[in-house]
Amino acid sequence: PLAPLHNPANLDGIEVAMELFPAIAQVAVFDTAFHQTIPQRAHIYAVPYELYERHRVRRYGFHGTSHKFVAGECSRLMGRELSETNLITIHLGNGCSMSAVEQGRSIDTSLGMTPLEGLVMGTRSGDVDPAIHSFLERAAGMNLTQIDAMLNKDSGLKGICGFNDMRDIHAAVAEGDERARLALEVQTYRNKKYIGAYMAVLGRVDALVFTAGIGENDPLVRQKTLAGLDHLGVELDYEKNSRRFTSPGTLHTSGSRVQIWVIPTNEELAIARESLSVLEDENH
């Protein structure tokens, strides 16, 4: 499967629901759907084009339900039309991704054909040199299945320091664990790189939006991610950033050209809305 940590569990749910509720309609809401507006220049990989034509090898993106939800919420809270708003949505949890949202449409995202590309995640590597696969086959005697499992389940923060829970990493940093400190530095540096890239792609950015478990609840990750971006108009208010958020709130200074928001995601509500829309269409 393209998403080995996700697809099997989703299929189990579908099969169980078919057995228990055979007469009830099921609606599949795909995390890739929001990213179908990404243009070819951003979703085509620089590999032989026939791989795209024959096997649909391309960037699909994931976490689309979350990115779409917080983009809509942010524009509403800003008092702007989504169609007139440019955002960078930053979903940081055990899985992490970022999306450049131009006038309500995803035009680029960090996750790729699979949920392995892009940002450093809890157990997933994010961006690595593709030649690492063949190198590990030769140097470590690993096969493709082992390498794939390693990159999905034993890499990312866990691969660097042994922990994939950010709370454990902060505790280890406080005790002087250098590998935990390094893991935090590697992740937030990667976050910063992607923000810079998406600011270049969008041109005008109205707001950055942090969401998901780490994005909503980890002031230090937000601070380190945004450090040094003042020259791009991103100015963090450290007092606001130190608060705990259970509802949407802002983190920017009064002089910041780019607004900074924390917006709790609600993928279940977004899925329910999409499902209701499909069912209503079928009944009319």
Instruction: Quote the pTM value.
Output: 0.93
Domains of the chain, CATH where assigned: 27-282 (3.30.420.40)
Task: State how far the Cα of 129 lies from the Cα of 127, in Å rounded to an integer.
Answer: 7
Among residues 12, 31, 177, 281, which one is catalytic? 31
CB 90, CB 108: distance < 8 Å: no
Report the pLDDT value the prediction gives residue 283, as an integer from 0 to 100: 72
Instruction: Please report which residue ranges of 21-90 form alpha helices under DSSP H.
Output: 40-43, 49-55, 64-78
The residue length of the chain stands at: 284
Mean pLDDT across 240-252: 95
Told to judge if 31 belongs to the known catalytic residues of this protein, a careful annotator would answer yes
Task: Give me 92's structure tokens.
Answer: 């940081």
Mean pLDDT across 197-208: 98
Task: State how far the Cα of 193 lies from the Cα of 206, in Å rounded to an integer.
Answer: 18
The percentage of residues in the chain with a pLDDT greater than 90, rounded to a whole number, is 87
Report the pLDDT value the prediction gives residue 1, as an integer from 0 to 100: 63
Angle at 78 between CA 276 and CA 263, to 5 degrees: 60
Task: State how far the Cα of 133 lies from the Cα of 140, in Å rounded to an integer.
Answer: 10
CB 75, CB 99: distance < 8 Å: no
Task: Give me 252's structure tokens.
Answer: 């920017």
Report the pLDDT value the prediction gives residue 2, as an integer from 0 to 100: 67
SS3 of residue 51 by DSSP: helix
Please, how many CA atoms are within 13 Å of residue 57, restricted to the half-sphere of its CB? Answer: 10
- Note the pLDDT tens digit of each residue in 30-78: 899 999 999 999 999 999 999 999 999 999 999 999 999 999 999 999 9
Task: State how far the Cα of 7 lies from the Cα of 214, in Å rounded to an integer.
Answer: 23
- Note the pLDDT tens digit of each residue in 123-172: 999 999 999 999 999 999 999 999 999 999 999 999 999 999 999 999 99
Average pLDDT, the chain: 96
Q: In DSSP terms, which residues pair with 96 in a beta bridge?
A: 92
